[in-house]
Amino acid sequence: MEKMTQDRIAMAEETRIQRIEIDSNGNRQFSLVSRAGGMERTFKQTWSTSWQEAESLERAATALNLPKQGKATCHLPPTLDPAQALRRQRPLFDALAGLDVEQWMVVIRSFRQCRRIIKRGGKEHCAVSCHDGLHIRVRILANDKEIELGDGRLPGESFNRDGLLQRLRAIIDNHRTGRLLRETLTLPVVLAAGDGGIIWHELMGHSLEGDHVLAGDSPLTARDVGRRVMSRAVTLSARCATDPFISPDLRDDEGEVCRHPQLIEEGVLRRFICDRDTGRRLGVPERGHARQEGFDRSPMPRMFALYLQPGSMSPEEIMGSIKRGVYAAEFGLGRVLFRKGRFAFHIPSAFLIEHGRLGAPLGPVTVQGNMDAAFQAVSMVGDDFRLDRGVSFCHKKAQTLHVRVGQPTVRVDGLGISPGGA
């Protein structure tokens, strides 16, 4: 177990969150929230934390007695110009106006954050985090269903507007023509590549977080390290070299690097998701996963990202292996009940699989089951790895953070499929 007699971490931060809204009635709203401040954490047998707001990153750094910035200064990139952002999305608004829907709303969200982190010994790290999101909310006529989907980008890039519209039309058609289930069925489920990784983020990712392990909420314990806890087909990693949003050498909010990103290797638990404190208390050397929403929030073990690594099967082979099942095409919100070992996820767009082929649309369904059984039920993993669309967020202990997921096409056996949303 790591010994820490005395430690200090200081962080100065400035964040700007911009929101631009327009709806089908022509209403427009603009907001820009800007905050700056600093946090200091010291360890003398236990952690002590203090924080204060400031007018700017520079003022926060001065209050913490941080050294002056050298040549590699830390500055926030500019936020969006609202009028220009709306002009660029005019084709999207026109396309939405042409759909047979009751209401629609488009939200453009811009996030800019800069942090200076000083660890013991004066080592400094500057972290700049920026991303934009384009979200569409649509209420369908007649059945009063609401659909929400989005696309993310890095500053300077373009949103995949055509892809968003294509997905939206497909979901609307799925809802209107879906053959609604009358009862809960137990069937194999094929999770689409990319966003389907959100299920493993919720089920296994949070189970690996050190605070959940220490509290006894997770189904895993420190004794499980080195044991097989998932199907042999599953390898989960906290980093992906091809993800533009998450650098492999990314540092966490304690200035630490995740040096060993592989969490699950062919079903075997290798390490947990820990910050300095939980790693010390669990008696493991892993760290690099401390995150906090803002300078006035306590850091905790949190995922930056979770990726299910590709296997050797083609998507066609996976589909062809199923006589009767369900294909999950889009993914919504879910809930995990650790104490009961159960989970449920809303699938906004699903299809029946019959004799290896995509069959009738089912509209929205709920996928549910037992956590331990689902861990072992991954029977086939595809070779078509894909990243999510860049708009995934995670909520934990009143802190909301941007996260990334990715996976190939995956077959999971024996899940419960119920009509409607979760």
C-alpha–C-alpha distance, residues 47 and 305, integer Å: 26
Position with higher pLDDT, 182 vs 58: 58
- Residue 328 — φ and ψ, nearest 5°? -95, 110
Residue 123 pLDDT grade (very low, low, confident, very high; cuts 50, 70, 90): confident
- Tens digits of per-residue pLDDT, 93-122? 999 999 989 899 999 999 999 999 998 777
List Cα–Cα distances, 308 to 226, 250, 378, 401, in angstroms.
Answer: 19, 19, 11, 20
Residue 65's identity, in one-letter code, is N
- Tens digits of per-residue pLDDT, 127-151? 899 999 999 999 986 566 789 999 9
Average pLDDT, the chain: 92
- Tens digits of per-residue pLDDT, 30-78? 999 999 999 999 987 788 999 999 999 999 999 998 888 765 577 888 9
- Helices 161-177 and 90-97: angle between axes, nearest 10 degrees: 20
- Residue 57 — φ and ψ, nearest 5°? -60, -40
C-alpha–C-alpha distance, residues 353 and 145, integer Å: 24
C-alpha–C-alpha distance, residues 231 and 380, integer Å: 10
Query: Long-range pairs for 277-282 at CB < 8 Å and ≥24 separation?
Result: 277/47, 278/209, 278/210, 278/211, 278/213, 278/214, 279/2, 279/210, 280/1, 280/2, 280/4, 281/210, 281/214, 282/210, 282/213, 282/214, 282/222
C-alpha–C-alpha distance, residues 197 and 158, integer Å: 24
- The full DSSP string for 1-66 is ----S-EEEEEEEEEEEEEEEEETT--EEEEEEEEEEEEEEEEESEEEEEEEE-SSHHHHHHHTTP
Question: Closest Cα to residue 382, out of 312, 307, 308, 309?
Answer: 312
Q: Is-contact 67 124, C-beta < 8 A?
A: yes
C-alpha–C-alpha distance, residues 131 and 34, integer Å: 16
Q: Is-contact 152 391, C-beta < 8 A?
A: yes
Q: Residue 1: its pLDDT value, please?
A: 45
